[in-house]
Amino acid sequence: MVSYEEYLAKHSERMILDDYYLQHLAETDEKLDFVRQNEEGVVQYYVPPRDYKLMSDVWLNVRTRGDVTDFTTEKHVELIGKISDWVAGEDGLVLDFFAGSGTTAHAVMDLNREDGGERKYILVEIGDYFDTMLKPRILKAAFSANWKDGVPQDRDGISHMFKYHSIESYEDALNNIRVQPPEAGQLELLRQFDDYMLNYMLDFQTRDSPTLLAQEAFEKPFDYTLRIQQGHESPEDTTVDLVETFHYLIGMHVRRLEQYEHQSRTYVVSRGHVRTERGIEHVVTIWRDTAGLDLEQEADWVNRELLTELVDRVYVNGYENYIDNAEPTEITFRERMEPRTPP
């Protein structure tokens, strides 16, 4: 009551109540309450201005069930589009952990097509219909907004880039364990000792398994493979993108990816930054096959041609290199792959 009376007495001629409330909040960080009685004696409470949008509660005109695919719980593009538009604005990021048939990607693309926005999306899906339903839907939605019986009705394709990752699963880890047969003496030990020894032996016997990232992975980083099973197919040797995996492990925002040829081999170089507790670190990663490298010649070329801007950290695969201030990628790689023990 006091605040409202004070407002009426001192400020109401100069500014409306909303402006008084916001000015007071900015100056003192205090949120004022205003209460008054109207002419009929009814108590009225002041509702301050908000910086978020109130959604319309009229949903009757929004279709909810989608029919683009035969997915049983497909939502309608209109419904997800309306929600995405409210929450994400023209350049926001829409995250859908339960992507299903991919309605969210479709809706975001349609919104961008309509208003030239630059919304992005991230989808997560556990089902193996990702390959047969979700991915084809994204491709089709980019090609045309309007399809009938498998034929595009409009030629209104948009420029679109999407990237997808399969995350290593428990089954992948099991498929990649390679056990070396124990020697006779070790077998004898196994018979004598308990579970602890069994664990130790398993660790020892499987130390060369690809899931544990043997040193060879860092000598030929572009050839590193794991046996990966897709659906019900038998596992196949599949190349793993170590460069990208490392970006994720260190939380790197990649600004540029570059490719060079030097000493008859390919160099992949990424530039970007990592947010750390100490602030932003500018990072360069350098990857190449290490066999037969002339390290001095390499360092000369890298220092002169590639490290021309100020950086805080340079990661290079392989333990040996003469590049200025470079550290071996594998140390950080392995540290980040280790399961963290809870505090």
- State the number of binding residues for ligand SAM (CB under 6 A): 13
Instruction: Report if residue 73 touches ligand SAM, rule: CB under 6 A.
Output: yes
Contact range with ligand SAM by CB under 6 A, out of 44-52, 123-131, 149-157, 163-171: 123-131
- Report the residue from 92, 127, 152, 328 that binds ligand SAM according to the rule CB under 6 A: 127
Count CB atoms within 10 A of the CB of residue 246: 21
Q: Should residue 71 be labelled a site residue for ligand SAM when binding is judged by CB under 6 A?
A: yes
Angle at 73 between CA 68 and CA 76, to 5 degrees: 45
Tell me if 44 contacts ligand SAM by CB under 6 A: no
**77 is an interface residue for ligand SAM by CB under 6 A:** no
Q: Does 124 bind ligand SAM (CB under 6 A)?
A: yes
Nearer Cβ to ligand SAM (80/284): 80
How far apart are alpha carbons 203 and 139 in whole angstroms? Answer: 44
Q: Which of 85, 125, 172, 289 binds ligand SAM (CB under 6 A)?
A: 125
Alpha carbons 208 and 261: distance in angstroms, whole number:
31
- Contact between 98 and ligand SAM per CB under 6 A: yes
- How many CB atoms lie under 10 A from the CB of residue 270? 20
* CA distances in angstroms from 175 to 181, 191, 209, 211, 242, listed in the order given: 17, 26, 10, 9, 19
Judged by DSSP in three states, 225 sits in strand
Instruction: Assess 132 for contact with ligand SAM (CB under 6 A).
Output: no
Phi, psi of 50 (to 5 degrees): -115, 155
Nearer CB in complex with ligand SAM: 125/289: 125
Give contact residues for ligand SAM (rule: CB under 6 A): 66, 71, 73-75, 98, 100-101, 103, 124-127
